[in-house]
């Protein structure tokens, strides 16, 4: 069992997302620690990219601000190395294929291994082209997280059978962002996944309220929340960690 799957071992997993370097790395570190202390089971760390095609306005703005502030992949890798001195829950990077490609897949994955990153999510990487990165990730014991969307349909079995760590179910068409309701038949997607693998599956895109999280957790193995947390950080800046702590506690109380 991978370290990521340990996050799902005894309860439904709550997975917050934060954009590294927004508004600065010091605040990011405090937010990550607040999430871990409030019951988060796994944390997604976003490496900013100039063209984050899967992201809505909230995370796009956060990424651009972080890049303008001089954030780099190397700075984030060093940051995670320091973070790992006291944060023990699984950590995964969420970024884009060009970030890994330009850094060098071998160099990137080996550094991930060295600093304690457990997995990588590349939402713009088609399943059919994943081997360019997945083989290197496997070499260093890094899980490449597969995504399944409402449009995956007859590809669900194929993607599920090869999944590692956990499967990221995209709840809705479009990009990340808070949604008033989720109309996709998540239960049907989960059932199709479970016909092909026992790899845990977590649902993201659009979830922001405890009642939503509880409902989704009842039919899946975990809940992913990004934009709602980045919104809090945007509103409160350096004072955000305590606000994020309160929010994450409300979400973990709902699903655990």
Taking the domains of the chain in order of start, what are their residue ranges? 13-244
Query: Which has more confidence, 68 or 154?
Result: 68
**What's the pLDDT tens digit per position in 53-89?**
766 788 999 999 999 999 999 999 999 999 999 999 9
- Secondary-structure breakdown of the chain: helix, strand, coil percentages, each rounded to the nearest 5: 50, 15, 40
| CA gap 103, 110 in Å, rounded | 11
- What is the model's pLDDT at position 172? 61
Please report the pLDDT score of residue 35 as a whole number. 98
Give 170-225 pLDDT, tens digit per residue.
976 544 444 455 557 899 999 999 999 999 999 998 899 999 999 999 999 999 99
Note the pLDDT tens digit of each residue in 32-53: 999 999 999 999 999 999 887 7
Helix (H, G, I), strand (E, B) or coil at 85: coil
The whole-number pLDDT of residue 1 equals 63
**CA-to-CA dists, residue 242 to 119, 154, 246, angstroms:** 27, 43, 6
- Residue 190 vs residue 153, higher pLDDT: 190
Identify the band that residue 152 occupies on the pLDDT scale cut at 50, 70 and 90: confident
| In the chain, % of residues over pLDDT 70 | 93
**Spatial separation of the C-alpha atoms in residues 145 and 152, rounded to whole Å:** 15
Which residues are CB-contacts of 146 (< 8 A; sequence separation ≥ 6)?
127, 130, 159, 160, 162, 163, 164, 167, 168
Q: Which of 205, 192, 197 is nearest to 154 (CA)?
A: 192
CATH of domain 13-244: 3.20.20.70
User: What distances in angstroms separate CA 194 from CA 120, 158, 182, 214, 220, one per listed residue?
Assistant: 22, 12, 21, 20, 10
Distances from the Cα of 107 to the Cα of 114, 132, 134, 163, 243, angstroms: 11, 14, 14, 23, 36
Q: Look at residue 51 in the predicted model and tell me its pLDDT.
A: 81
Minimum mean pLDDT range among 150-154, 204-208, 213-217, 234-238: 150-154
């Amino acid at each position: 069992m991978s370290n990521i799957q340990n996050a799902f071992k005894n309860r439904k997993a709550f997975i917050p997302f934060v954009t590294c370097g927004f508004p600065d790395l010091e605040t990011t570190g405090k937010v990550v620690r607040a999430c871990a202390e409030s019951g988060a089971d796994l944390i997604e760390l976003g490496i900013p990219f100039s063209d984050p095609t899967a992201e809505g306005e909230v995370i796009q703005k956060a990424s651009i601000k972080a890049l303008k502030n001089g954030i780099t992949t190397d700075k984030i890798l060093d940051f995670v190395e320091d973070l790992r001195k006291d944060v023990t829950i699984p950590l995964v990077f969420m970024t884009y294929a060009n970030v890994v490609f330009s850094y060098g897949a071998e160099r990137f994955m080996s550094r991930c291994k060295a600093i304690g990153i457990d997995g990588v999510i590349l939402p713009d990487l088609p399943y059919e082209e994943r081997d360019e990165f997945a083989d290197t990730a496997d070499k260093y014991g890094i899980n490449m997280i597969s995504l399944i969307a409402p449009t995956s349909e007859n590809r669900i079995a194929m993607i599920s059978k090869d999944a590692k760590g956990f499967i990221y179910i995209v709840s809705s068409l479009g990009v990340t962002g808070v949604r008033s309701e989720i109309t996709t038949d998540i239960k049907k997607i989960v059932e199709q996944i479970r016909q092909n693998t026992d790899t845990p599956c977590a649902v993201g895109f659009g979830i922001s309220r405890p009642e939503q999280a509880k409902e989704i957790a009842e039919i899946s193995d975990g809940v992913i929340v990004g934009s709602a947390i980045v919104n809090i950080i945007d509103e409160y800046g350096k004072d955000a960690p305590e606000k994020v702590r309160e929010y994450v506690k409300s979400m973990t109380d709902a699903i655990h």
